[in-house]
Amino acid sequence: MTNKSLTILLVFLMIGCSNTNTVKIGYEQDEGNIIDINSGDVESTNVIKKYFDAYNVRDYETIQSLEHDDVTFYGPNGELVVGIEEHYKLSKEFLTAYPNTQWTINWSVSTDVMFDEKPIENWVTRAFHKDFP
């Protein structure tokens, strides 16, 4: 087999063995529109693991480094918490009240929500167990 034939064969193998297609795994409704949900980048689940690992050791610097400036959460009483600093304050209050709390992620899935009129959003859904020893 010539070098040229070998090169062509290797290119075909690399192309044939790679899967760049996204997989539709569901949908969501947004203002009456059906929006596709595709499988997402598994690296996002690693970020979430790092996030909860940081909570378990009370590493607030790592927690804050993993959040976007416009992070939004709902607190335990339904209050809207917007921004890294507000989330930090709520976290400190919660962990002062429950100092032995630990999180264990049971499973985690990354998905991409394919909006038509705004940027794609990556959502990570997870189930975890929270201990209050």
Domain with 69, as residue range(s), is 24-131
**CA-to-CA distance for 119 and 100, rounded, in angstroms?**
39
pTM of the model: 0.72
Residue 31 binned pLDDT confidence (cut-offs 50, 70, 90): confident
pLDDT at 50 over 60: yes
Q: What CATH number did the domain enclosing 33 receive?
A: 3.10.450.50
Least confident span in 33-37, 71-75, 100-104: 71-75
pLDDT of residue 38: 96
pLDDT of residue 77: 84
**Cβ-count burial 116-127 (b if 16+ within 10 Å, e if not):** eeeeeeeebeee
pLDDT tens figures, 5-27? 444 434 444 444 445 567 999 99
- When divided into structural domains, the chain yields a total of 1
Helix (H) or strand (E) holding 88: helix 84-97
> Which 3 state secondary structure label does DSSP give 130?
strand
Query: Quick check: is 16 in a domain?
Result: no
Query: Quick check: is 6 in a domain?
Result: no
